[in-house]
C-alpha cells in the first residue's frame, strides 16, 4: 500500500473521530438546563428563518413572472408603435381633414355680477342658397372593398377607388355651388353652366344630387375612360350611386 493511500485513510479516520467528539460534546451540552433554553430559542429562530426563506422564494418566483410579462408587454407595445408609425406615414390622401372649432366660453370671460341673457328660440331662418349642404358620396370602407368581387375590382386598389370618389364629390360640390349661387352674381361662364345643369335635370333626378360626364371633365382632372367606368360599376355595386339615363345622357345620382 502506498504512503499516500495510508495518509488518506488516516485523515478520514481522524475526521470521523473529530465528528464523534463534537457530537458527544453537543449531546452533553443539550442536557444542561441553560443550554436547552438556548438550543430551543435557536430552533425557533431557525423555523422562522425557514418560513422567511419560503416567502422569499415565492416572491422571487412572482417577480420573475412579472418580469417576463413586462417583457412580453414591452415587445407588444413596440410592435404597436411600429404599426402606428407605419399608419402615420401612409395615411390615405382621401381621408377627410378634421377641423376643431372652439365654441366654449371661459368662465373668467363672464361677469358673475351681470345676469346672463338667454335668447328665446325664435323662428329659424331659412339658410341661404350658399349655405345649403351639398350631399357627397361616402368613401368606401375597407370591409366593403374586401367584399367587392375580384373580377369586378381586378387590380384596382382601395385608395384608387376612394380617389375617384373624392374627385366625383369635387364635381358635385362645384356644380351645386353654381346652382345655389344667385344669378345676379354669376359670371357668363357660370351662367352657361347653370343653364346646362337645369336642362339636364329630369323628373327622376328631382331632389337628388347628380353629375354627368361633362361635369367630371369640367371640374376634375379625371379621365373618363374604361378604368373610370369600371370604378363606376364598383360604386354602383357598393350602392354609392345609381344611373338615370335619358336624352342621350347618363346621370350619376349620389345615393
User: 182-227 pLDDT, tens per residue?
Assistant: 989 999 999 999 999 999 999 999 999 999 999 999 999 999 999 9
Burial class (CB in 10 A: 0-12, 13-18, 19+), 57: exposed
What cell does 149 get?
368581387
Judge whether residue 131 has pLDDT over 70: no
The strand pairing partners of 241, in sequence order, are: 254
Angle among Cα 222, 177, 197 to the nearest 5 degrees reads 70
Domain regions of the chain by residue span: 8-90, 133-254
Model confidence band, residue 130 (pLDDT cutoffs 50, 70, 90): very low
Residues 102-120 have pLDDT tens digits of 554 454 454 555 555 545 5
Question: Of 15-24, 28-37, 45-54, which range is least confident?
Answer: 28-37
pLDDT tens, position by position, 238-247:
999 999 999 9
CATH number belonging to domain 133-254: 1.10.10.1890
Using CA atoms, how far apart are residues 48 and 42, in angstroms rounded to an integer? Answer: 10
Please count the CA atoms within 13 angstroms of the CA of 130 that sit on its side-chain side.
5
Q: For residues 98 and 171, give the distance between their C-alpha atoms in angstroms, rounded to a whole number.
A: 21
Strand order through the sheet with 249-254 = 210-211, 249-254, 241-246
pLDDT at 156: 93
Helix or strand (DSSP H, E) at 34 = helix 33-89
Instruction: Give the per-residue pLDDT at 107.
Output: 47
46-100, pLDDT tens digit by residue? 888 888 888 888 888 888 888 888 888 888 888 888 888 877 777 776 666 655 5
Amino acid at each position: 500500500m502506498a504512503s499516500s493511500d495510508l495518509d488518506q485513510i488516516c485523515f478520514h479516520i481522524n475526521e470521523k473521530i473529530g465528528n464523534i467528539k463534537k457530537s458527544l460534546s453537543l449531546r452533553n451540552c443539550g442536557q444542561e438546563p441553560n443550554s436547552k433554553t438556548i438550543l430551543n430559542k435557536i430552533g425557533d429562530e431557525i423555523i422562522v428563518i425557514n418560513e422567511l426563506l419560503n416567502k422569499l422564494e415565492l416572491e422571487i418566483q412572482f417577480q420573475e413572472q412579472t418580469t417576463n410579462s413586462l417583457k412580453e408587454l414591452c415587445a407588444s407595445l413596440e410592435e404597436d408603435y411600429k404599426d402606428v408609425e407605419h399608419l402615420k406615414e401612409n395615411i390615405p390622401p382621401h381621408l377627410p381633414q378634421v377641423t376643431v372649432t372652439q365654441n366654449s366660453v371661459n368662465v373668467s370671460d363672464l361677469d358673475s355680477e351681470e345676469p346672463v341673457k338667454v335668447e328665446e328660440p325664435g323662428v329659424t331662418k331659412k339658410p341661404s342658397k350658399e349655405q345649403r349642404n351639398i350631399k357627397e358620396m361616402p368613401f368606401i370602407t375597407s370591409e366593403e372593398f374586401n367584399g367587392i368581387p375580384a373580377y369586378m375590382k381586378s387590380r384596382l386598389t382601395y385608395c384608387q377607388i376612394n380617389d375617384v370618389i373624392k374627385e366625383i364629390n369635387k364635381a358635385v360640390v362645384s356644380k351645386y355651388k353654381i346652382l345655389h349661387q344667385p344669378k345676379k352674381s354669376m359670371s357668363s361662364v357660370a351662367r352657361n353652366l347653370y343653364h346646362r345643369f337645369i336642362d339636364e335635370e329630369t323628373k327622376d333626378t328631382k331632389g337628388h344630387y347628380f353629375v354627368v360626364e361633362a361635369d367630371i371633365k369640367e371640374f376634375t382632372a379625371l379621365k373618363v375612360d374604361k378604368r373610370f367606368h369600371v370604378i363606376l360599376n364598383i360604386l354602383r355595386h357598393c350602392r354609392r350611386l345609381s344611373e338615370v339615363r335619358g336624352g342621350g345622357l347618363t346621370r350619376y345620382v349620389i345615393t
